[in-house]
Structure 1
C-alpha cells in the first residue's frame, strides 16, 4: 500500500482512531500490505478484522498483533497494544480505503485501469493482460481469483506510486456487485467476456446475470473503452448501454480484433489475429483449449487500447504456458498418458469447451477419458444442463466417461441413455473410487480430462492423477 498516516486511513474509512497505550501518533505512517488473513500478516502490515459466515476476524486480531501488524481495522475496540481504526463495517472500510488509494495514485497521472468480467475466462484474461502489460510498466493484478468485495480491494491496495497498470478482475454473485467494484476503481477499459449460466442460480436467472455483467460498462465515460464479445448475443446489446467507445473482439467478421485459422493441438492453440488497420500476426499460444483464444483476443484488444504494439502483445501472450493452476493444466506424461486438470471451476459453457478440446487434441488411435463432477450454482437449470453435457460427451465420441458425485448423476444417466454411443459411462460416489477406476483402466496414450466446479473438489483428484502418471 502507498504510505498513509493513521489519521488519513481513519478519514478514508470514516473510522475512529484509537491509539490506546501505544507509542503511535495520528501522523504515524503505515505502508505495509493489507490483508484479512491473520496468517499473512507481517511486520508493518494492516489487518482488517472481517466478520464471515463461519469465522470472525476479530478472533484472530491478537495473532495479527503478535506477528507485527501496525494497524487493526476493526468494528469494535480490542484490548490489544496496536493502533486501531474502529469502523461501522470492516468490508465497507476496506473498499473505502482501496478507493482512496486508487484516487491518490490516479492523481499522479500515469495509472490506467482495466476491469475484467464475464461468466467464464476472467482469471485467464487477467493473467494474460498482466503478462503483456508487465513488459510496458509496473503492473498490479489480482492473485488467483481475487474478484469479490474483499479480494478486489485488496488487489487495489497493492498499488504504489510507480504502478502504471491495474488489472482488476470483477466477479459477482448478484446484481450490484460489479457496480460496487467499478465505483472503487472506475476502469479506463472495461471488458465483458461472456454471459453464460455460471452462477445463474445465485443471480436468480440469466436475465439477472446479464444485468449484473452489464454493470461493467454502464458507468464508463465517453473517454473510456468498452471491450465487448462480438460473438455473444447476450453481450452485444451492452453496446447500447454505455457512453464509452466500443471495441469488439471475437471470431465474427464484424469484430475489430478477430482470430482466423485457429488450430488446436496437444501443445496449445495457434491462430492469426487481425486488428484494425489490417495488421495481423500469428500467435503460438501455449494455453490449451480453443476457447481460450477468446480470452486472448480480449487481452489483445484491451492492450492495444492501452497503446501496446501488436508485436509486444504477441510476445507477451506467447510467454504464457498456463492460464492458472487447475485451468487446462497439462500433467502426466508416463506411457504417453496426458492428464488435463481443469477442475478449478465449471459452467455449462466451460464444460462443453473442455470436452471439445479433449476430442480435438487426442492423437489418432488413442482414447479420451472424461472425469466429470457437478456444475454447481445453476439453480433451476442444473438438471437440463447436466443432461446436455452428458449428451455432448457421447456426440463427441469420448471413449470413457467417469461421473463423480450425486450432484452430477444426471450427466451419467443422460450419457448411458444415448443409444447411439458405443462407449461407456461409469458413476462413482467419491474421488477415491474415481482414482481407482481411472488408474485401473487407463491405457498408454490416453488423454484424461478432469473437470468440475470448485465445490466438487476434483482438482485434487486431477493433481493426484497427474502425479501418479508423471
Structure 2
C-alpha cells in the first residue's frame, strides 16, 4: 500500500482515532489475519462468532502494526469505525484514486475467472509491476484487500469479480474503478441464487457499464449473451474469440496431447501459439488475455511466445501432473459448475486420447432448480465423450451417474462412491499405468482424491 498517516487513514474511512498518533505512518500491508501482520502494517479486526479479531489487537500491534481498524474499543492504538468491511472498501478507493497511472483491469464470468485472471496477470507482468489476487479472492473482502496491495510502483491491478446477485459487481467497481473490463462467459453457475441466466447476464454486464468512455471492454465473441453487452458500455469494445469478426481471434486451432495450438490474429499482425496449459477451452481464455495485453500495448511480435509460456498459477485448476507409474492426473478440483465440468471433460478426452480415462466427479453447488438437470447433463457428456471409468462422489452427485447411464451407446463403467475415501480406494484397486484421471467438484474436498494420488506419486 502507499504510505499513509493514521490521520489520512481515519479520514479516508470516516473513522475516529483513539489513543493513536495522527502523524504515525502506515508503511506496511493491511491485514485481517494477525499472523500476517508485518512492521508498519494496519490490522483490521473483524468481529466474528467463533474468532473475533478484536481479541488479537494486542498481538497485531506487538507484531508491528501501527494501529488497528476496529468497531469497538481495544487497548492499543486504533481507528474506530462502524463497519470494517466498508472501511476497507473506502480505504482501497482512496489508495486507487491516489495512483492516477494505475490501470485497473476487472474481469468476471460464470466460469474460468481465476484462470483467465492468472493469464492476464502473467502477460501484464511483462509490461510492468502487476498486482492480482491469489486464487479466487474475488468478493467484497478480497477485492479491497487486493487493491490495497497496489503502490506507486504498480502499473496494473488485475481484479477478479464474483457476484451472487445484482449490484455486487457495481459495488466492486466502485471500490476500484476499472479501465479495462473483461467478460468471459454467462452460464448457470450460482443460478440458484440469481434465479435465471438472464439475471446472471444482467449482473455480469454491470462491469462493462462501469467502464469509462476511454476504457476498453473485452468481450467473448463466442458467447451471445456476452457479445450483446457491447450495447451496455460507453467504452471501446474489443471482441475476442474464434468468431470470424472477432478483433482478436484464433484460427487453425488444433489439439496435441490435450494442449491447443493456434494462430493468433490481431489488427496488428499474426503469431503462432502453442499453449503449455491443458484444455481446448484455454483457447478462449488465452484470447481474452491476449486482447487485454494487446489493448495495453503488448507487441504482437512477442505476444505469441508469451502466450505459449503461460502456466497454471492458482492451485487445483487444470493442474496436470504425471506419476512415476505413468498415470496422468488432471487436478481441477477447486470448484465446479456445468460449464467448467464440460470444459474439464473435454480436456480429459483430449489429454487421454488413446489411453484409459477416469472422471472422478463431485457435487456442483448453487444450481437451484437446475440441480438435477445440471448433474445429469454432466454425466451424459462424460458418457458421450467416451470416459472409460466414472466415479461419482457422494449421494448428492448421484444424478451424474444417472445421466451417464442414460447414454445407450456408452461402453464405460460407473460407480457411486460414498465419499472421497471410497473413491480413492477404487482408484487404488483399479488404476493401471498410463491411465488419465480427472478430478473435479464444488469445494466439497474432492481434492482429497488428488492429494491421495499425488502422495502416492511422491512416495
Mark yes or no: TM-score above 0.5: yes
- 2:275 pairs with one of 285, 293, 297: 285
Give distance in 1, aligned partners of 2:111 and 2:272: 25
Deviations 1:78-123 (A, max 9, x none): 1x23x211111100000000000000012xxx22111111111111
- SS of 2:205 mapped into structure 1: helix
3-state DSSP of counterpart to 1:402: strand
Q: Which residue of 2 aligns with 1:265?
A: 256
Which range moved further: 281-290 or 268-277? 268-277
Aligned to 1:320: 310
Alignment of 1:90-105 (within 5 A): 90-105=84-99
Partner of 2:38: 42
Contact 1:332 1:465 in 2 (8 A): no
Partner of residue 28, structure 1 = 24
Please name the residue that 1:85 is paired with. Answer: 79
Contact 1:132 1:312 in 2 (8 A): no
Contact 1:267–1:286 (CA<8 Å) still a contact in 2? no
CA distance in 2, matches of 1:440, 1:213: 45
Aligned to 1:151: 142
- Of 373-382 and 123-132, more deviation after overlay is shown by 123-132
Map of 1:293-308 to 2, 5 A cutoff? 293-308=283-298
- Kindly tell me: are residues 192 and 54 of structure 1, through their superposed partners in 2, closer, same or farther at Cα, counting changes over 3 Å? farther
User: 1:175, 1:137 → 2: CA distance?
Assistant: 34
Question: Are residues 1:182 and 2:173 paired?
Answer: yes
Secondary structure of 2:128's aligned partner: coil
Structure 1 residue ranges without an equivalent (≥5): none
The answer to whether the Cα contact below 8 Å between 1:126 and 1:167 also exists between their aligned partners in 2 is yes
* Secondary structure, aligned partner of 2:98: helix
Give the gaps of 5 or more residues in structure 2. none
TM-score, normalisation: structure 1: 0.94
Deviation beyond 6 Å, 4+ runs, structure 1: none
Aligned length: 458
TM-score, normalization by structure 2: 0.96
Q: Whole-Å Cα distance in 2 between the matches of residues 39 and 223 of structure 1?
A: 41
Seen in structure 2, the aligned counterparts of structure 1 residues 122 and 280 have a Cα distance that, compared at 3 Å, is same
Partner of 2:47: 51
Indicate conservation of the 8 Å contact 2:258/2:348, yes or no.
Answer: no
C-alpha distance in 1 between matches for 2:48 and 2:322:
38
3-state SS, counterpart of residue 340 of structure 1: strand
Displacement of 1:53:
6.7
- Corresponding residue of 1:5: 5
Q: Secondary structure at the match of 1:227?
A: strand
Aligned partner of 2:333 in structure 1 is 343
Is the CA contact 2:264–2:304 (under 8 Å) kept in the aligned structure 1? Answer: no
